[in-house]
A and B are shown apart, each in its own frame.
Chain A
């Protein structure tokens, strides 16, 4: 059945699947956002423990989604994986390091005899939430601003900038996208914590979280606006019918206009995030995370769809346009995409049990009993 689909359809299906996983990851960065909020919102050890334990139950979900995002890109678009990871070496390496140090920090933070001390593990969490997310944003920014590479006949990558990927962080557009993601993660983090913690004993923590949701959003706003406006104005990397890449004026504006559904998702997504922020910071409700989360997923999808669809090169090369990668020239074979599409039918089941389990686990909010437990982080 799937095997009869045209390869172009499969390539598009896989760009959608990768986009969904990537967008879900952006939603789940509420964990990283919470990590950077920690030192601002928690004033004593009890509050700190509540925040860390609330985040600590979810960090693996975010981490696993990131790993799956990488795995899905590897399987579906191996040329991107090889080109970007091998070429933009340092940006990926630093992202990697920021996630290695996160993975041990929850478990080891308050364990006796933990060698590095609580402060260091909390710093690790902060680095992961700030530097890690910023660099992921910068890397995604290169989907629009392009990178410095050429591919030879054998598709081996040669990087023409000696910073090997770190130069991505020195573009104002990429940096803005990164900072937007950092602050948006904080917005989501505050929303999630408001939803997940029982504040009976710590009412001030709730007040601070709700306030920080708004201030983080206000910090995110200028970067978001800069990214959006630039995106509408800059030239983009377009493909013609033969796969030849050229610079096209107002390419991404054109993409949004050519795909009204995507434009609609952008507007709905932004609106949902704003509703979430207002509900959390001005109201007393706890449902903000669902608005903010869904909104972030929509905005994330818009980023990936705008970069990859409508005959656009999603991983463009600034120095050699014809080395640019599109979903058509970077994908796996028809056979592999077919196999992987059958596998992808499992994703809804995975989502279903993840949601089922977390509904059970979150039916009662995190309270002081939870952090008194010996297993607590």
Chain B
């Protein structure tokens, strides 16, 4: 893989563009994933009870759903295009594996969403009650199915399974679809992402309903919405905690560097403690012997239990993973880089021999290549320290996410308790907290992606392809221009979306 000169400025602009588009897209997606199911619950209540109040309530939430959905669709198509436009080398190298879930997402999920979305919005008078309800459920299932496929694709990047590098065609090729689909990382990703999105969707409803209760408007509707959203939210948030634990367990096995970064663990140990609360020592550099934390509260052996489910298991730290730890059988990055560079050289030799038609030399180079192929990505690194992601970003994102997630469980419980007591309207403090909850939940959700994606830097595909090798070789000016075009467009559309949403909330369910 000769790349000529890599323009790192361009790589960073392409990166910035991806961060911008994906984080912007993610404002709308979790709302869609959660609110679609809530709309289905609300409408089920209507069909079951025949009570028009439930119908009015359903229609109100559906209006907000529609406003959010439109911009979610608009921002989703960008990502599909961007893999090709800005990351064409990636698209070529792994398109054989990565393209499939994207196409399947289109066939299985998008048509389900698009078709039944129209019934959900315009079919109240045109289809039977039951068929309409069925359609609303299909929208919810379709949205979440689309999440499944894109998360399978993402999970594969974090833990590339079911494939092999084919030096003939110079790309990675799929060998086992089921391994890709049922990869433990993909499953952990799907369950954690969808369940946490249900939490965001639930808080979307609770936040707006709390605002109504604070204002003393639409009281019945708000209370009903809160009960349904709190039950759904509580179950989802407990499940999110469980799947979060599963994700950490998967990280420990497949992406130990990510785990070490978000736990702030520099030196690995047996029976490692987990930092429950801590502030990083900002002057700490790898290998300087300084304490990693300026202040910390730890739970003894907590990390070993979480990562390995064993009291005295060894959890490798950043230092072990970079410089190796012979006693624990961890190879140093320097050694991996050597093997990687050998793989790169043998790969070039295969290509040369192929061109000159020297079959013998080609076969020999192929044999050599196979020995080191698992380290291919390391061949493109410049220094061993490059494999360390930005520790502070990952550490704080992770911890804030966990604190918020735990707090959400409590918040849902409080909402349920006071709903049961029927004193919710008097609890101004809780309603104020509930009003803010949506923004906190969205923050936690975005931070989760920061942990997942910043935490796996420098890799586009774990151990196989660094991000800097994945871009299109296009001048920095082009990428900068499109970055600012997106920036301006997103700004305008976000303002429009928020203004429209606020107006509809102000109008309330009487207007729908």
Contacts and interface: CB of A to CB of B under 8 A. Distances in A.
Interface of A: 57-58, 60-61, 63-64, 66-68, 70-72, 74-76, 78-79, 81-87, 89-90, 92-93, 96-97, 99-104, 106-108, 111-116, 152-159, 164, 332-333, 335-336, 339-340, 343-344, 346-347, 350, 353-354, 357-358, 360-361, 363-364, 369-370, 373-375
B96 A333 contact: yes
Contacts of A106: 70
A3 B336 CA distance: 37
B100 A93 contact: no
Contacts of A101: 74, 489
Contact of A104 (B113, B127, B175, B493): B493
Contact of B118 (A57, A103, A156, A336): A57
B88 A87 contact: yes
Between A72, A90, A333, the greatest number of chain B beta carbons within 10 A of the residue's beta carbon is seen for A333
A90 B70 CA distance: 24
A74 B88 CA distance: 11
A105 to B, nearest CB: 9
Nearest to B62: A375
Interface in B62-113: 63, 66-67, 69-71, 73-75, 77-78, 80-81, 83-89, 91-92, 95-100, 102-108, 110-111, 113
Contacts of B102: 71, 74-75
Given A61-B114, A100-B75, A332-B95, A361 B122 contact: yes
Nearest to B94: A78
Interface stretch (B413-421, B434-442, B470-478): B470-478
A67 B99 contact: no
Interface in B455-486: 472-474, 478, 482, 485
Nearest to B127: A360
Given A75-B100, A89-B472, A370-B122, 9 more contacts: A60-B73, A83-B92, A156-B88, A156-B473, A164-B478, A335-B177, A339-B174, A363-B126, A375-B63
Contacts of A85: 81, 83-85, 88, 91
A78 B99 contact: yes
Given A63-B73, A153-B170, A115 B106 contact: no
Counting chain B residues whose Cβ lies within 8 A of the other chain, the interface size class is 35 or more
Q: For the complex, would chain A's binding face be called helix, strand, loop or mixed by DSSP majority?
A: helix
Contacts of A156: 3, 88-89, 92, 473
B111 A64 contact: yes
A113 B122 contact: no
Contact of A375 (B73, B85, B122, B174): B122
B85 A60 contact: no
Contacts of B485: 93, 97
A140 to B, nearest CB: 16
Interface of B: 1-3, 59, 63, 66-67, 69-71, 73-75, 77-78, 80-81, 83-89, 91-92, 95-100, 102-108, 110-111, 113-119, 121-123, 125-127, 131, 135, 166, 169-171, 173-175, 177, 351, 472-474, 478, 482, 485, 489, 492-493, 495-497, 499-500, 502-504, 507, 511-512
Contacts of A344: 107
Given A111-B504, A155-B92, A336 B97 contact: yes
A90 B80 CA distance: 15
A357 B113 CA distance: 12
A60 B88 contact: no
30 contacts: A58-B118, A67-B80, A68-B110, A71-B102, A71-B103, A74-B83, A78-B99, A81-B99, A82-B84, A93-B482, A96-B78, A101-B74, A103-B71, A104-B493, A108-B497, A113-B500, A115-B492, A115-B499, A154-B2, A154-B3, A155-B92, A332-B96, A336-B174, A346-B108, A350-B108, A357-B116, A357-B119, A361-B122, A361-B126, A375-B122
B85 A92 contact: yes
